[in-house]
Amino acid sequence: MKNFLLFHNHYIDRIEINPRVCNGKPVIKGTRIPVAVILEQVAESETWQDLLAGYPELTLEDIKAALRYARSFLEHSELKVVNV
């Protein structure tokens, strides 16, 4: 549990969910940059340096927080197999 709390604290101070900001989607705190945008650009092989140049208000720690948030979200989600 202690490791989870340490991991959780790495992104909790940088990610916010506010219904009045980007329709309640997770964003980098103090910005309107959705976590999903960061993840999408990383998935498209955008370098972290390019992300930082494209979003001057973003920091390296913000990118790491977005990745940690996504990991935590996936680890605490339950997937169900649907037979079609």
Q: Give the CATH number for residue 26.
A: 1.10.10.10
pLDDT of residue 9: 58
As for how many domains the chain has, the answer is 1
Give dist(CA 15, CA 27) in Å, integer. Answer: 6
Q: Which of 30, 31, 26 is nearest to 71 (CA)?
A: 26
28, 11 Cβ separation under 8 angstroms? no
Q: How confident is the model at residue 6 (pLDDT cuts 50, 70, 90)?
A: very low
Tokens of 52: 């930082």
Region 40-66 average pLDDT: 96
Q: How confident is the model at residue 10 (pLDDT cuts 50, 70, 90)?
A: low
Give dist(CA 66, CA 39) in Å, integer. Answer: 7
What range defines the domain where residue 69 resides?
2-75
Region 49-68 average pLDDT: 95
- Tens-place pLDDT, residues 21-51: 999 999 999 999 999 999 999 999 999 999 9
pLDDT of residue 43: 96
pLDDT of residue 64: 94
Is 16 among the domain residues?
A: yes
Give dist(CA 36, CA 67) in Å, integer. Answer: 10
Give dist(CA 8, CA 50) in Å, integer. Answer: 26
